[in-house]
Amino acid sequence: MLEQLVGDSKALDRALAGEELSYNDGLELMNYDNLHLLGAVADNTRKKLVGDTVSFAASYYMNYTNVCAASCQMCAFYRKGDEDDAYTLTPQEIEQRVGIAKQMGATEVHIVGGFHPKLPLEYYEDMMKTIKKSHPTLNIKALTAAEIFFLSKLTKNSTKEILSRLKDAGLDSMPGGGAELFHPDIRNKIVRGKCSGQEWINVIEEAHNMGIKSNVTMLYGHIEKPEHIIDHLIKIRDLQKKTNGLLTLIPLKFSLDNTELEQNNLVTHECSSVYDLKIIALSRLMLAGVLNNISVYWVALGKKLAQVALSNGGNDLVGTAFSEEIYRAAGKHTASSVDDLATMVKEIGRNPAQRNTHFDILNKF
Ligand code: V47
């Protein structure tokens, strides 16, 4: 049935046949105007690859500092060290918050922050050792590849050395932040003072080779062009073919409020829901068979659109968040319980399941 309908698109035909999509196929689909067909093929591919389960983790999000040596045009979170609302948590404050999260049922802690120019490597090691000592079973998902790269420059250690010391201190896995879009033409317009796309990939590859798995993100809906999205997805696919260390792709919708891109009128509105759904569908189709988890970040989309995104290629919900300061800084509220997410999934006729960081199912509802 779908085969007959997609006859006008070679790329959709190829996707339905389970063939790997090329760069040109990706571009064709970014410019394809029948969202319903695109979504149907992505949904069909999702069903074949991962079935009807929609997973989510009980994750506690914590930003240990908003002080940042970088000043990215797309970020509303960073502060310079001397600003009134700049903060840095002590390892003891972090431990206290993590204790509460554990009591609430979190199985992982997601810890990221700004590029703090004064915190020594020992701060991060202490943080991880303190958490591990009190909560040995909690997965510490901490520090993006961009933070590792920054720490390497700051402390004059190799990125491998930093990763190895943090792994010894308790680092279990890494979040996917800081990836933004890898293509230099767009990256250089939205970030300032952050590693390049290739440097991000190199650090993550090193982490994967040490047995530290990670997520990967894709920041969309600002000033990118279709080719930047497809370039990013193909680089993710190539990386995953090499290391198999990626757990999921999390497309992140750009949130406008309080960013330099907004203040300079470079972006005047957030992208449309149609574009959101296209991005989820393209993520599913470009990565099919290589990276089979596509997470929907409901915090950015809202719960109703997140449900539609799950019917356009998504199979996982991210943002069980008890706290997430970066999105809040850019105008989005965050917080939900595991039961709320299960209800959201049941409402669309799919099967909710709580997972751990590594996508093993812990609990069905
Ligand atoms: O790296 C910054 C992005 C990321 C804005 O790995 C913005 O499980 C939208 O990476 N609008 C941090 N996005 C969040 C992140 C993340 C979130 C949830 C789960 C995981 C995971 C990772 O947020 C940054 C950047 O790409 N960001 N500013 C903004 N104005």
- pLDDT of 257 reads 87
Regarding the beta carbon of 178 and ligand 1, being less than 6 Å apart is answered yes
- pLDDT of 326 reads 44
- Tokens representing residue 80 in the block: 């310079």
**Which has the closest alpha carbon to 251: 165, 200, 205, 313?**
313
Regarding the beta carbon of 254 and ligand 1, being less than 6 Å apart is answered yes
Regarding the beta carbon of 259 and ligand 1, being less than 6 Å apart is answered yes
Homologous superfamily of 20-364 in CATH?
Aldolase class I (3.20.20.70)
Q: Which atom of ligand 1 is nearest to the CA of 261?
A: 30
- Enumerate the domain spans of the chain: 20-364
Ligand 1 geometric centre to CA of 300 (Å): 10
In this structure, the dihedral spanned by the alpha carbons of residues 32, 316, 141 and 97, taken in order and rounded to 10 degrees, is: 120
Cα distance between residue 194 and residue 124, in whole Å: 19
For a pocket test of ligand 1, which of 217, 222, 296, 323 has the largest count of ligand atoms closer than 8 A to its C-beta?
217
Cα distance between residue 152 and residue 144, in whole Å: 12
pTM summary value: 0.94
Regarding the beta carbon of 9 and ligand 1, being less than 6 Å apart is answered no
Cα distance between residue 30 and residue 27, in whole Å: 5
DSSP state of 6: G
| 260 C-beta neighbours (distance < 10 Å), count | 16
Cα distance between residue 307 and residue 309, in whole Å: 5
Q: Give 324's pLDDT tier (boundaries 50, 70, 90).
A: very low
Regarding the beta carbon of 357 and ligand 1, being less than 6 Å apart is answered no
Highest averaged pLDDT of the listed ranges 14-28, 79-93, 330-344: 14-28
- pLDDT of 327 reads 44
Q: Give 103's pLDDT tier (boundaries 50, 70, 90).
A: confident
Ligand 1 geometric centre to CA of 248 (Å): 14
